[in-house]
Chains A and B, each alone.
Chain A
Amino acid sequence: MVGITSYGAYIPLYRLPLMEIAKAWNVPPRGKGERSVANYDEDSLSMSVGASVHALSGMDRSLIDGFYFATTTSPYAEKMVSTIGAAALDFGPETRTLDFTNSLRSGTGAMIAAIDALKAGSLNNVLIAAGDTRAAQTQGDMEQTFGDGAAAVVIGNTDVAAEIVDTISMSDEIMDVWRPSSETYVRAWEERFGFTVSYSKLVPKAASMLLEKNCLAPQDLAKVVITAPTIRRHKGMGKALGLTPEQYEDSILPNVGNTGTALPLMMLVQALETSKAGDNIMLLSYSNGCDAMLLKVTENIEKLKNRIGIKHQLESKRELPSYQKFLTFKGLVPVAPVARPDRTPIAAVTLWRHRKDYLALYGSKCTECGAQQYPPQRVCVKCHAKDKREMVGLSQKKLSVFTYTQDNLATTVDPPVIVGVVEFEGGGRAAFDITDRDPQEVKVGMEVEFTFRRLFFNRGIHNYYWKIRPLR
Chain B
Amino acid sequence: MPGSIKDRVAIVGMGCTKFGERWDVSAEDMIVEAVYEAYEDAGIDPKDIDAAWVGTLWGLTGMTISKPLKLNYIPITRLENGCATGSDAIRNASYAVASGVCDIALAVGYEKLKDQGYSGLDLPFTASAGGMADDAAGVAPTTTAPAMFAVMATKYFERYGLSPEEGKRMLARVSYKSHQNGLLSPKAHFQSKVTMDQIMNAPIISWPLGLFDCCGVSDGAAAAIIVRADKAKEFRKDPMYIKALQISTGGENRLRDDYDHTHVEEIYQSGLAAYKEAGITNPRKEISMAEVHDCFSITEAVFMEDLQFSPRGKVREDIENGFFDLDGGLPVQPDGGLKCFGHPIGASGIRMLYEMYTQFQGRAGKRQINDPVIGLTGNMGGEPPGCCVSTIIVGAKLG
Please report A residues at the B interface, Cβ cutoff 8 Å. 339-341, 343-347, 349-351, 353-354, 358, 371, 373-375, 377, 379, 381-382, 402-412, 416-417, 419, 421, 423-424, 427-433, 444, 455-456, 458, 463, 465
Contact = CB atoms under 8 A, between A and B. Distances in A.
Given A405-B147, A409-B205, A429-B257, 12 more contacts: A339-B119, A353-B134, A375-B133, A382-B256, A405-B150, A405-B153, A406-B206, A407-B147, A409-B146, A433-B142, A455-B139, A455-B142
A341 B113 CA distance: 12
B323 interface: no
A416 B137 CA distance: 22
Contact of B137 (A358, A405, A427, A431): A358
Interface string B89-122: 0000000000000000000000000001111101
A350 B154 contact: no
B151 interface: yes
Interface in B115-141: 116-120, 122-123, 126, 128, 130-141
A419 B255 contact: no
B164 to A, nearest CB: 12
Interface in B209-227: 209
Nearest to A345: B136
B143 A343 contact: no
Contacts of A430: 254-255
A454 B275 CA distance: 49
B152 interface: yes
B327 interface: no
A340 B120 contact: yes
- Centre residue among B123, B132, B136, B150 by max chain A CB count within 10 A: B136
Contacts of A423: 257
Given A403-B155, A419-B141, A433-B141, A344 B147 contact: no
A406 B140 CA distance: 16
Contact of A343 (B138, B151, B158, B254): B138
Interface in B138-183: 138-144, 146-147, 150-155, 158
A346 B138 CA distance: 6
B309 interface: no
B177 to A, nearest CB: 24
B141 A432 contact: yes
A403 B256 contact: no
Interface residues of B, number: 50
B261 A406 contact: no
The 7 closest A-B pairs by CB, nearest first: A339-B118, A405-B150, A341-B122, A347-B136, A403-B155, A350-B136, A407-B147
Given A340-B120, A403-B151, A405-B151, A350 B137 contact: yes
Contacts of A458: 138
Nearest to A426: B257
- Centre residue among B117, B204, B253, B257 by max chain A CB count within 10 A: B257
A377 B134 CA distance: 12
Interface of B: 116-120, 122-123, 126, 128, 130-144, 146-147, 150-155, 158, 203-209, 251-259, 261
- Secondary structure type dominating chain B contacts: loop
15 contacts: A344-B126, A346-B138, A347-B137, A350-B135, A377-B255, A403-B155, A405-B150, A406-B207, A409-B206, A417-B147, A427-B257, A431-B130, A431-B131, A455-B139, A463-B137
A131 to B, nearest CB: 21
Contact of B154 (A351, A403, A463): A403
Nearest to B135: A350
A417 B142 CA distance: 7
Contacts of B207: 405-408, 416
A456 B259 CA distance: 31
A350 to B, nearest CB: 4
Given A339-B117, A347-B137, A429-B257, A404 B142 contact: no
Contacts of A408: 203-207
A416 B208 CA distance: 13
A343 to B, nearest CB: 6
- Centre residue among B144, B209, B254 by max chain A CB count within 10 A: B144
A410 B143 contact: yes
B143 A351 contact: no
B137 A404 contact: no
A358 B138 CA distance: 10
B256 A405 contact: no
A458 to B, nearest CB: 7
A381 B138 CA distance: 22
A444 B131 contact: no
A407 B255 contact: no
B206 A465 contact: no
A163 to B, nearest CB: 42
A421 B203 CA distance: 24
A456 B256 contact: no
A88 B311 CA distance: 47
A462 to B, nearest CB: 12
B255 A374 contact: yes
- Centre residue among B119, B154, B261 by max chain A CB count within 10 A: B154
Contact of B118 (A341, A346, A373): A341
Contact of A351 (B137, B152, B252): B137
B138 A407 contact: no
A347 B123 CA distance: 17
Contacts of A402: 155, 261
B138 A344 contact: yes
A403 B142 contact: no
A407 B120 CA distance: 13
Contacts of A424: 257
A463 B130 contact: no
A350 B119 CA distance: 29
Contacts of A343: 138
Contacts of B251: 379, 381
A407 B135 contact: no
Contacts of A374: 255
A26 B15 CA distance: 67
A381 B142 contact: no
A368 B147 CA distance: 34
B128 A344 contact: yes
A373 B139 CA distance: 17
Given A409-B120, A421-B151, A465-B139, A381 B256 contact: yes
A159 to B, nearest CB: 37
A90 B132 CA distance: 22
B261 to A, nearest CB: 5
A421 B256 CA distance: 11
Contacts of B152: 403
A444 B155 contact: yes
Nearest to A402: B261
- Centre residue among B131, B141, B152 by max chain A CB count within 10 A: B141
Contacts of B122: 341
